[in-house]
Structure 1
Amino acid sequence: MKTAFITGITGQDGSYLAELLLAKGYEVHGLLRRSSSFSTGRLDHLYVDPHEADEKGVRLFLHYGDLTDSSRLVTLLSRIRPDEVYHLGAQSHVRVSFDEPEFTGDTTGLGTIRLLEAIRMIGLDTRFYQASSSEMFGATPPPQDESTPFHPRSPYGAAKVYGYWAARNYREAYGMYAVNGILFNHESPRRGETFVTRKIARAAARIATGLEQHLYLGNLDAVRDWGFAPEYVEGMWRMLQADAPSDYVLATGTAYTVGDFVRLCFDHAGLDWTDHVRFDERYLRPSEVDALIGDATKARDVLGWTPRTYTPELARVMVDAELVAIEGPTATVTPLPVLGFERPALAS
């Protein structure tokens, strides 16, 4: 049985990755920040009653800790000694990073170096995945691949560039198996409610059911490459199964504006979006990223990874999940795409 350690396990990607690894027979350990409210809702369906566990027993364990606490990271990694480390934890909201640049740099940037240094100090023979981001490309024109220069346009993007080069440096300096997964936007019903795709899908469902009247957004012209999160975490896992460490872009190679996503969601809910969407300048960033469109040729050729879900279907799935949350299982929904593992739960 392999053992994996996941930072950011309570987030969208962390929960799907935990689900995937458990299905593959892993023992999974996750880093959980202490807070006054519960943050494990995306993992509830994965818990096993110790009295009802199969012959493999309980295989999901959560540990309190923080990416700003080096000593705790050393303690946990020394005890768990994972075969694979998936570093997904971060302050990951781009707009918020302008309001909290220092905190973003400390967690998203320095958190990566703390984790890498803990692995090096302990002498762990582990494989390390760094969650890099398409936001690192920023102002660099698309299409963007592994050789495209970085030009971040936010504190979040800058912090991710630091983490990217930290992973590269530890691979080159210490022979560590460290990879960067440069993932373009990937969404799902488990996306946080403050992220634009979930915000749009949720508003479309709530307006359609009479719970709200308007949706307030900023820049509708930003172009993004949106995929389906469960497929992207499968790509993360494939990166750590390769014979040699390298860096990979995961993307669909398709381009849609935020306005396109609005239209797709509202059309599926039977609404005219122009009747309900309002502009609010508070949601504009001080510096915008105009277009992110990825080229995942390397991942296809080396890892055999290809996306199976594209933006129109993604929008329908996300709106349907919101309708189920409001109306219950009687809501009429679009079937989710066929995946290589179990249908993802519609946890929020």
Structure 2
Amino acid sequence: IRRASTFNTERIDPIYQDRHESGARMFLHYGDLTDANGLSRLIRTIKPTEVYNLAAQSHVRVSFDQPIYTADTTAVGSLKLLEAVRDFQESTGYEIRYYQASSSEMFGKVVETPQKETTPFYPRSPYGVAKVYAHWITVNYRESYNLHASCGILFNHESPRRGETFVTRKITRAIGRIKHGLQKKLYLGNLDAKRDWGFAGDYVEGMWRMLQQDQADDYVLAIGETYSVREFCERAFGRLDLDYNDFVEIDPRYYRPAEVELLLGDPAKAKAKLGWEPKCSFQQLVEMMVDSDLELAAREKTLIDAGHKVDMTGE
């Protein structure tokens, strides 16, 4: 399975326009975090005022199977992008504000609860370790080269656009298919793992707010509530009056070699300094995702009933 992105716009189709169309404002460029020269060319060509590094091999379970690739992209790739930004800024005097997507997975085996900006990191996966490197190299470049570079330590952020291999979307996608008779069972791993889940749209606003500040800094973005995977299942299946116990089965293959049992963020700093407030509650998030995947499954069933072979994943 290739974890690198391909040129597929399925998740941004509602806002993407071909560059030849009148009024097009968003333009896509080929790029790869492992290609330092290519990144430098892109920065010189685009001359961005802000760069948001959201790229990574971001699947925690996959990082155990592909640790070297995860390190090359998530850790060293972030350094290559920082170098491209630094070189351009130093050669032109043109400021680029830089956002690094740090992760709550850096906290791993947590040493305090809730976790905040000063909580020590104890990553429990190759992904978490790679993110710690990307985080600290960003801080180092901020302090060494006077870059306006901020790190957002984001706790789990979800939406109907979430990839189907991630547990929340895997759950809601299965619920829609079960409701329409397209699937019988849902196989999951650790139901007792607890996460602080929020809506991705709220968190993107927080990212943007970080780069509007006069001084770069690091911020935790979180709801400040934690729920288990089991509780997510209860609420998601309950949205359609289903009992998750009738459909969910445990597959040990989905357990991580080193589990992160509890993540709970403290967003007090972001609220105080950025004026950031999450608007979508956990319950609203669950309902939004279930409703979206119910519609997706209905379209899938219509096509299947008409005799079409269907791939609705968009992967």
TM over 0.5: yes
Tell me how far apart the structure 2 counterparts of residues 289 and 49 of structure 1 sit (CA, whole Å): 42
Partner AA of 1:111 in structure 2: G
Question: Counterparts of 1:93-172 in structure 2 under 5 Å?
Answer: 93-123=59-89, 124-140=94-110, 141-172=112-143
Q: Which runs of 5+ in 1 are unaligned?
A: 1-10, 12-32, 329-346
Aligned residue identity for 1:288 = E
Write out aligned runs for 1:1-348 (5 A): 35=6, 38-48=7-17, 53=22, 57-123=23-89, 124-140=94-110, 141-327=112-298
Contact 1:261 1:311 in 2 (8 A): no
Number of equivalenced pairs: 294
What root-mean-square deviation, in Å, do the aligned CA atoms of Structure 1 and Structure 2 show? 1.6
CA–CA separation in structure 2 for the residues paired with 1:324 and 1:188: 15
**Corresponding residue number in structure 2 for 1:17:** none
- Structure 2: tracts of 5 or more residues without a match: 300-313
Instruction: Give, in whole Å, the separation in 2 of the partners of 1:90 and 1:34.
Output: 9
AA in 2 matched with 1:126: I
**Compared with structure 1, are the counterparts of its residues 142 and 117 closer, same or farther at alpha carbon in structure 2 (3 Å cutoff)?**
same
d(CA) in 2 for partners of 1:50, 1:68: 26
Q: Aligned pair in 2 of structure 1 residues 126, 217: CA closer, same or farther (>3 Å)?
A: same
**Which digits, 9 at most, give the CA deviation of each residue in 1:79-100, with x for residues without a partner?**
1110000000000000000000
Letter in 1 for 2:85: I
Q: Distance in 2 between the 1:79 and 1:148 partners?
A: 39
Percent identity reads 57
SS at match of 1:204: helix
Shift of 1:326: 2.2
Q: Per the alignment, in what secondary structure is the counterpart of residue 121 of structure 1? A: helix
- Judge conservation of contact 2:9–2:16 (CA < 8 Å) in 1: no
The answer to whether the 8 Å contact 1:34/1:64 transfers is: no
| Structure 1 residue 233, shift from structure 2 partner | 0.3
Q: Distance in 2 between matches of 1:101 and 1:69?
A: 18
Deviation at 1:262, TM superposition (A): 0.6
Q: Distance in 1 between matches of 2:71 and 2:286?
A: 32
- SS state at 2:256 partner: coil
TM-score, normalised on structure 2?
0.90
Structure 2 residue aligned with 1:21: none
The answer to whether the 8 A contact 1:93-1:195 is kept is yes
User: Which residue identity lines up with residue 156 of structure 2 in the other structure?
Assistant: N
